[in-house]
Structure 1
Amino acid sequence: MTVAPSPGPIVGGLIISTAGWRWIFLVNLPPGLIAIVAALFLLPRSATRPTPLDVRGLFLLCAGVTVFVYGTAEAGRPGALDSPRVWAVLGAAAVPIGLYVLHARTRPALIDISLFRNRGFTAAVLTNVVVAIALFGVLVLLPLYWQIVRGHGPLATGLLLAPQALGAAVAMPLAGRVTDRVGAGVVVPTGIVMGLAGTAAYTQIHAATSPVLLAAALFVIGLGLGATIMPSMAAAYQALPGHLIPQATSALNTLQRMGASLGTTALAVTLQHEITARSPELGHAALAPLPDEARVQVAPLLATAFGHAFWIALAIGALALVPALMLPRGKA
């Protein structure tokens, strides 16, 4: 789990450069099928009687989350926030989600919202979600910076993104051991501070910032993420009795996906706003491939816009410190 993400950006860049972007999705099919077969034959059967499927809750939650993710993805398009259609879609998402909350308060549901009465679980989930918002927002900005401002292709961009995965691979096993000894309440805030330190370097970015410096900062961000996400997830499970872990996993993953969508939208909109404010004539074309001569001319302006967007990512990441300081301390 710690090593596998490291070659991901590199392989992704190679696929896009050679086979085309659709293969990013097609290459997932064989591993997915292998995972299904492995789950059927290798995972132990549950000793308890399965609970009936909450069909109504499944329909309401899937509809709400799907429409929400679609709406936030549309909101991230240039100028989309001025469209009544986007706001209508986001408003429509609130209806099934609100109905699901009412449904879950009165009967056993797909995700038990009473889990959030547990302070430790709620703190861990909030930490994880806020980190997901900042993380996925940054993952939108980084490849755009390397391709738009610096003019690199997909493969080179993938290589330049690899330090984050390497940092996470280094930190995860160490963070797990230390968390067992001192608790997530010590490790997770430390990881968040490390991630903030790496992100702070990107707020000072310009058109000719040293790639070595940016790679080092990205490695530090990876260290911070490796010391944050897994320990906070472990803290969420530690706060609950064993029979509630399946429901906790569903709640945590659903909210992570929604947070990732929010982060992507927030920083994409911020970046577009910053670019348009500095160069209205460039506008939406700034996020499209530019000829080398045009790119060199506007690179300083674009780099400044990216730096301001990273300030927003830094502010979002700092918010994660609030719930992280509520996580348990001491030996697990």
Structure 2
Amino acid sequence: MSHAHHTLPAEHASAPPVPRRWSMLALLCLAQFMLILDVTVVNVALPDMAADLHLGREALTWVVTAYTLCFGGLMLLGGRLADALGAHRTVLAGLAVFTAASLVTGLAGGASVLLAGRVFQGIGAALLSPSALSIVTTSFHGAERNKALGVWAALGGTGSAAGVLLGGALTDGPGWQWVFYVNVPVGLVALATLPALLPRRAPQPARLDPTGAVLVTAGTGSLIYGLVKAGDAGWGSATAILPLLGALFLYGAFAAVERASRAPLMDLRMFTRRPVAAGAFLMLVATALLIGFFFLGSVYLQHLRGYSALKTGLVFLPVAVATGIGAHLGSRLVGRIGSRVTAVAALVVASGGMVPLAWLPSDGSVYARLLPGLVVASFGVGAVFVTATTTALALVAPEEAGLASGVVNTFHEVGGSIGVAVLSTVAASGIEQGVAGGFRDAFALSAAVAALSALVCLVLVPHGKPQATGGPHVH
């Protein structure tokens, strides 16, 4: 199948449509749904895992972050592999790795196998997600493409919603192992049916940059390690400071490698473009807050309030729905009032929702004290997500959209890792001793971060309305 290159500005108008593309979209979305599900599905299962496998707070934090770390850190390499090997091959390889890793994680009898499984789930996700998105983007054209990408984007909110509910139901029912086992039949069905549906495009000659991918992943891993250690040893301890310094060094090395490389993994010059820098920043903050809420709320409800996993999942359902509604409203507002106003307003709402949680009690009604704040905050965060993507993608030149999208998606996963690590550390006393104080501090920090981010957005986020992009923008 011939694929016109970027010589024609309207290249996608001339490419023939892919047959059975909606069936393919449904399956790719199902696969992507599993990947998103696996960020939040474990949160509700954590206390049961901890009890079964004797995991402390550090190991629990890594159960969440090991996955998002590898997913985020290797995603750009996954996208590059999709070009080099062909997106259809990379999708199937990623799906196979993810499905096998899910089985291993479910069978884990101790922390080391569990975390190894999570790492390989992340590697599979990093191969699958960018190559699947690239297939969706090239298989649909015009209005159909917007519809297909809309469906893809909507998975984010619904995935985290379904994650907490499914996580609760499975943990309380057949056991926490099933939050991983459930991926296996889905993965096998997708592996059996996708090869017939995926368009086969010739691989593009692409230079890979494994060094860059390893450095950025190691840097973020070192950062998370330092942040998690600070919760036990204190911020001034060598066990916290050395890994944090190591992270700075590794990030510096990553920047140097990228600058010297003829085909860098992440073109750091992308960050000199305001829309991309703004989108990456918004994505980092939004995911750090949202995944952090799920982590904190889940541990608070189960450790401190004695909730079952299923009841915890049900408490989080309105939170996840609010995120989806916020995202829907945000996408409307960005087109009407522009990115900057939407981002600032959304972050102010998120911060406002968090403020009452800084006085969270150890008793009293969860529905009166915890839930309203989380619902309001996640409604705001939902709108931030959409603003992040639309700002980064709609305000850059079309030929840079792929690069920009890779940057924003990387910050999506890495943001989740950093958010959970920081909030787990701030709430350490609450998680380990079951007192509300640690949770109060973590929610207070979340409120402050959202408020400060709103101020940053006044300066950073471009003023434009993203839909008005005709051709390449010159800033």
- TM-score, normalised by the number of residues in structure 2: 0.58
Q: Is structure 2 residue 338 aligned with structure 1 residue 183? A: yes
What is the 5 A alignment of 1:305-316? 305-316=438-449
Out of 268, 271, 275, which is 2:424 matched to?
A: 268
Q: Is structure 2 residue 468 aligned with structure 1 residue 323? A: no
Q: Match for residue 244 of structure 1?
A: 400
Q: Structure 1: where are the runs of 5+ without partners?
A: 276-283, 288-301
Q: Is structure 2 residue 99 aligned with structure 1 residue 99? A: no
State the SS of the aligned residue for 1:5.
Answer: helix
User: Hey, what's the Cα distance between the residues in 2 that align with 1:176 and 1:41?
Assistant: 34
Q: Is structure 2 residue 379 aligned with structure 1 residue 223? A: yes
Q: How many percent of aligned residue pairs carry the same amino acid?
A: 27
Q: Is structure 2 residue 260 aligned with structure 1 residue 126? A: no
Instruction: Provide Cα deviations, 1:258-294, integer angstroms capped at 9, x if missing partner.
Output: 3322222222222225x5xxxxxxxx7515xxxxxxx
User: Hey, what's the Cα distance between the residues in 2 that align with 1:308 and 1:60?
Assistant: 32
Does the CA contact (< 8 Å) of 1:76 and 1:265 recur in 2?
no
User: Hey, what's the Cα distance between the residues in 2 that align with 1:160 and 1:135?
Assistant: 15
Out of 136, 145, 148, which is 2:303 matched to?
A: 148
Q: Higher relative contact order by CA 8 Å / sep ≥ 6: 1 or 2?
A: 1
What is the 5 A alignment of 1:159-308? 159-213=314-368, 214-273=370-429, 285-287=432-434, 302-308=435-441
What is the 5 A alignment of 1:102-113? 102-106=256-260, 107-113=262-268
Instruction: Provide Cα deviations, 1:174-208, integer angstroms capped at 9, x if missing partner.
Output: 22122122222122222112211211221222133
User: Hey, what's the Cα distance between the residues in 2 that align with 1:93 and 1:37?
Assistant: 41
User: Hey, what's the Cα distance between the residues in 1 that align with 2:414 and 2:341?
Assistant: 26
Alpha-carbon distance change, 72 to 229 in structure 1, aligned in 2, over 3 angstroms: farther
User: Hey, what's the Cα distance between the residues in 1 that align with 2:176 and 2:227?
Assistant: 18
Q: Match for residue 212 of structure 2?
A: 57
State the SS of the aligned residue for 2:160.
Answer: coil
Q: Structure 2: where are the runs of 5+ without partners?
A: 1-154, 468-475
State the Cα distance separating 1:139 from its structure 2 match.
2.3
Alpha-carbon distance change, 103 to 9 in structure 1, aligned in 2, over 3 angstroms: same
User: Hey, what's the Cα distance between the residues in 2 that align with 1:112 and 1:143?
Assistant: 37
State the SS of the aligned residue for 2:361.
Answer: coil
State the Cα distance separating 1:241 from its structure 2 match.
1.7
Q: Is structure 2 residue 232 aligned with structure 1 residue 75? A: no
User: Hey, what's the Cα distance between the residues in 2 that align with 1:228 and 1:269?
Assistant: 25
User: Hey, what's the Cα distance between the residues in 2 that align with 1:5 and 1:80?
Assistant: 32
Does the CA contact (< 8 Å) of 1:133 and 1:264 recur in 2?
yes
Give the counterpart letter for 1:104 in structure 2.
Answer: E
Give the counterpart letter for 2:290 in structure 1.
Answer: L
Q: Match for residue 180 of structure 2?
A: 25
State the SS of the aligned residue for 1:180.
Answer: helix
State the Cα distance separating 1:242 from its structure 2 match.
2.1
Give the counterpart letter for 1:248 in structure 2.
Answer: A
User: Hey, what's the Cα distance between the residues in 1 that align with 2:206 and 2:186?
Assistant: 29
Alpha-carbon distance change, 188 to 146 in structure 1, aligned in 2, over 3 angstroms: same
State the Cα distance separating 1:41 from its structure 2 match.
5.9
User: Hey, what's the Cα distance between the residues in 2 that align with 1:18 and 1:185?
Assistant: 45
Alpha-carbon distance change, 110 to 33 in structure 1, aligned in 2, over 3 angstroms: farther
Does the CA contact (< 8 Å) of 1:72 and 1:262 recur in 2?
no
Alpha-carbon distance change, 24 to 73 in structure 1, aligned in 2, over 3 angstroms: farther
Q: Match for residue 115 of structure 1?
A: 270
Give the counterpart letter for 2:446 in structure 1.
Answer: A
RMSD: 3.0
Does the CA contact (< 8 Å) of 1:76 and 1:266 recur in 2?
no
Does the CA contact (< 8 Å) of 1:124 and 1:324 recur in 2?
no
